Amino acid sequence: MKSNIIVFFSDDHAAWALPSYGNSEISAPHISELAETGALMDKAFTPCPVCSPARASFWTGLYPSQHGVHDHLAEDDPEVGATPWLHGIPTLADYLRAAGYTSAMCGKWHCGAGETPKSGFDYWYSSWRKTPKYSTMTHKYSDQGQVVERTGYDTRIVTDAAIDFLRQRDGEKPFFLFIGYATTHNPWINRDEGLVSGYRNATFGDIPDDIPYAFGEPGRHPVAPDDPGEALAQYYASVTMIDEGVGRVLDELADERDETLIVYTSDHGLNMGHHGIWGKGNGSEPLNMLEESIRVPLILNHAGQITAGQRRAELVNHCDLFMSLLDFAGARPQAADRFPGKSFRHMLAGEDAPAWDDKTIVEYGVVRAIRDARYKLVQRRDSYQNLLHDLERDPRETVNLYRDPQCQDIVRRLTAALESFFARYEVAARSGLRGDDLPVHNRNEAWRSKNVSYS
**Alpha-carbon dihedral angle through residues 253, 239, 48, 34, given to the nearest 10 degrees:** -40
pLDDT score for 454: 40
Q: What is the rounded average pLDDT of the residues 133-147?
A: 50
Alpha-carbon distance 199 to 150, whole Å?
27
Average pLDDT over residues 207-212: 92
The whole-model pTM stands at: 0.96
pLDDT at 453: 45
- pLDDT tens profile 227-250: 999 999 999 999 999 999 999 999
Determine the structural domain holding residue 90 and report its residue range.
4-340
Residue 297 lies in a domain: yes
- As a whole number, mean pLDDT of residues 54-59 equals 98
> What's the pLDDT tens digit per position in 314-373?
999 999 999 999 999 999 888 888 999 999 999 998 876 678 999 999 999 999 999 999
Q: Looking at residue 147, what is its pLDDT?
A: 73
The fraction of the chain above a pLDDT of 90, given in percent, is: 80
Q: Is the CB of residue 374 less than 8 Å from the CB of residue 358?
A: no
Report the residue count for the chain: 455
Q: Does a structural domain hold residue 366?
A: no
Closest by CA position to 303, among listed 338, 260, 336? 260
For the range 248-254, what are the long-range contacts, defined as Cβ-Cβ under 8 Å and sequence gap of 24 or more? 248/159, 248/163, 249/6, 249/8, 249/159, 249/162, 249/163, 249/166, 249/179, 250/30, 252/163, 252/166, 252/167, 253/6, 253/166
255 domain-assigned: yes
The SS3 assignment for 193 reads helix
What pLDDT score was predicted for residue 146? 64
At 367-422, the pLDDT tens digits run 999 999 999 999 998 877 999 999 999 999 999 999 999 999 999 999 999 999 99
Task: Classify residue 125: in a domain, yes or no.
Answer: yes
- Categorize the per-residue pLDDT at 451 as very low, low, confident or very high, splitting at 50, 70 and 90: very low
* Strands ordered across the beta sheet of 367-371: 360-364, 367-371, 375-379, 387-390
pLDDT for residue 455 is more than 60: no
10 Å CB burial of residue 98 (0-12, 13-18, 19+) is middle
Is the distance from CB of 405 to CB of 396 less than 8 angstroms? no
CA distance 411 to 141: 50
CA angle, 319 then 303 then 154, to 5°:
60
Number of domains composing the chain: 1
Report pLDDT digits (tens) over 98-138.
Answer: 999 999 999 999 999 888 889 999 999 987 655 444 554 54
Residue 336 domain-assigned (yes or no): yes
Q: Which residue has the higher pLDDT, 104 or 211?
A: 104
Q: How far is CA 393 from CA 18, 91, 291, 372, 411, in A?
A: 25, 40, 14, 14, 17
pLDDT at position 75 is 85
Please tell me the distance from the alpha carbon of residue 373 to that of residue 91, in angstroms, as a whole number: 30
List all residues 6 or more positions away from 373 whose beta carbon is below 8 Å from its beta carbon. 315, 358
- The answer to whether residue 276 is domain-embedded is yes
E strands of 18-132, at which residues? 39-45, 102-107, 123-130
450 domain-assigned = no
Helices 51-60 and 318-329: crossing angle, nearest 10°? Answer: 30
The CATH number given to whatever domain includes residue 331 is: 3.40.720.10
Considering only CA atoms, which of 397, 357, 178 is closest in space to residue 266?
178
Is 269 among the domain residues? yes
Q: d(Cα 427, Cα 406) in Å, to the nearest integer?
A: 35
pLDDT at 144 over 70: no
